[in-house]
Amino acid sequence: MPGTAAASPPVQAAPALDTETLSSRLARLRELLEDDDTEAAELLEDLVAQPALQRHRSELEQLSAWIDEFDFEQALDTLDSLTRTIEAPS
Q: Report if residue 29 sits inside a domain.
A: no
Q: Does 44 map to a domain? A: yes
pLDDT of residue 9: 44
Residues of the chain with pLDDT under 50: 1-2, 5-6, 8-12
Please check whether residue 7 lies inside any domain of the structure.
no
**Spatial distance between the Cα atoms of 28 and 66, rounded to a whole number of angstroms:** 17
Is 58 part of any domain?
yes
Confirm if 10 and 23 have CB atoms less than 8 A apart: no
Is there a contact between 44 and 61 (Cβ–Cβ < 8 Å)? Answer: no
Split into its structural domains, the chain has a count of 1
Which structural domain, as residue segments, surrounds residue 88?
A: 38-90
Asked if the structure places residue 19 within a domain, the reply is no
87: in domain: yes
- Given this model, what pLDDT does residue 10 score? 44
Please check whether residue 1 lies inside any domain of the structure.
Answer: no
